[in-house]
Amino acid sequence: MKDTIIIRTEDLTKSYGAKTAVNHLGLEIRRGEIFGLLGPNGAGKTTTILMLLGLTEPTEGKALIDGFDCTRQSMQVKRITGYLPDNVGFYGDLTGRDNLRFTARLNGIPEKEIDPLINDLLERVGMMYAADQKTGTYSKGMRQRLGIADILIKDPEVIIMDEPTLGLDPEGMREFLKLIRQLSVEDGKTILVSSHQLYQIQQICDRVGIFVGGSLIACGGISELGSQIAAQGHYTLEVEAEPCDDRFLGYINELDGITGISKEGNTFVISSSKDLRSSITRFLGMNEYKLLHMHQKGGDLDEIYHVYFEEAEKEGDDQNAENRSRKRRFGRRGK
């Protein structure tokens, strides 16, 4: 069941004039997994979501959810898909319970089933205590949790969330991430989360896709992407030792494979093309330094994102330089 592909995009492209917001996206998301679509603002994440929801048409290619074409069969897609935007909208002069009743009636839930269903969902998302307050008084975290209850009324197979943790306080974020994980593990929901908040996403996602400039530049499990980076020769090592002196710095500078060194307080942050932990540990031990902290950052999502993002920017700069060169050559020929 977990290996079944439920969301698929094929050559999915969206252009606005000369600007390409989503560039030939090929993506597969498995049934029951939590997939994080990660990237900076303007990367094309929201445009991708709008195409999946059938709210904007692709320029090229197609998107499918459970076999339904998101453009041509948008009504079928909407029946099995729930959407939580970054700023959930409710009728502020109605209570949370009344807002859910309104949604239940829109979805054709029989009247006698509505209140028991709403009670179950309010209990599930931890909002029973505020059910009879007007939603205009709710905090961001309360609206997000009520938004989950609102989605679950129609019991969708797929839930799409656009920047769902934006603006939440730490406790609200912890509770919300726990709820998302439960929806996947206990309910078998497939969840697509769009975000630029890497640390939060790392805690819950089965796989991630890194999205830059409209293109998916990396996709996989966090440990898998970390291994790929290591195999490509990208290592970042944090080392704190006593004393943190020029002799130690000089030793590091002489090591093979060093690509950069910075200092944060008493910690050296060392970029290299190879794993230097054993060499540095041996040097510290032989020279009676005290090792206080050592951490290889290659497996952290933040480091993975940083490496891939830098590579994508470099490729973009190289391509822009080539385009400028071509224009200059063409201009000379045309004179």
Q: Strands, DSSP E only, in the chain?
A: 5-16, 19-30, 34-38, 60-65, 68-69, 81-84, 158-162, 190-195, 207-212, 215-220, 235-242, 258-264, 267-272, 290-296
What are the sequence ranges of the domains in the chain?
5-220, 235-296
Per-residue pLDDT of the chain (335 residues; tens, 9 = 90+): 557 999 999 999 999 999 999 999 999 999 999 999 988 888 899 999 999 999 999 999 999 999 999 999 999 999 999 999 888 889 999 999 999 999 999 999 999 999 999 999 999 999 999 999 999 999 988 999 999 999 999 999 999 999 888 778 888 888 888 889 999 999 999 999 998 777 777 788 899 888 888 888 888 887 777 666 655 667 788 899 999 899 999 999 999 989 889 888 889 988 888 889 999 999 999 999 999 998 877 556 666 766 666 665 555 444 444 444 444 444 555 44
Tell me which amino acid residue 95 is: T
Q: Are residues 211 and 43 in contact, defined by beta-carbon separation less than 8 angstroms?
A: yes
Q: What's the rounded Cα separation, in Å, for the pair 92 and 136?
A: 4
For residue 173, the model assigns a pLDDT of: 84
Side-chain half-sphere exposure of 287, counting CA atoms within 13 A: 16
- The DSSP call for residue 46 is H
Please give the backbone phi and psi of residue 83, each rounded to the nearest 5 degrees, phi first. Answer: -130, 130
Tell me which amino acid residue 152 is: L
For residue 228, the model assigns a pLDDT of: 65
For residue 55, the model assigns a pLDDT of: 94
3-class SS of residue 115: helix
In terms of DSSP bridges, do strands 81-84 and 158-162 run parallel, antiparallel, or are they unpaired?
A: parallel
Domain 5-220, architecture per CATH: 3-Layer(aba) Sandwich (3.40)
Q: Return all residues near 2 (Cβ < 8 A) that are at least 6 apart.
A: 30, 31, 32, 33
Give alpha helix (H) positions in 107-255.
111-124, 140-152, 170-185, 198-204, 222-231, 246-254
- The DSSP call for residue 39 is -
Q: What's the rounded Cα separation, in Å, for the pair 290 and 287?
A: 9
Domain 235-296, architecture per CATH: 2-Layer Sandwich (3.30)
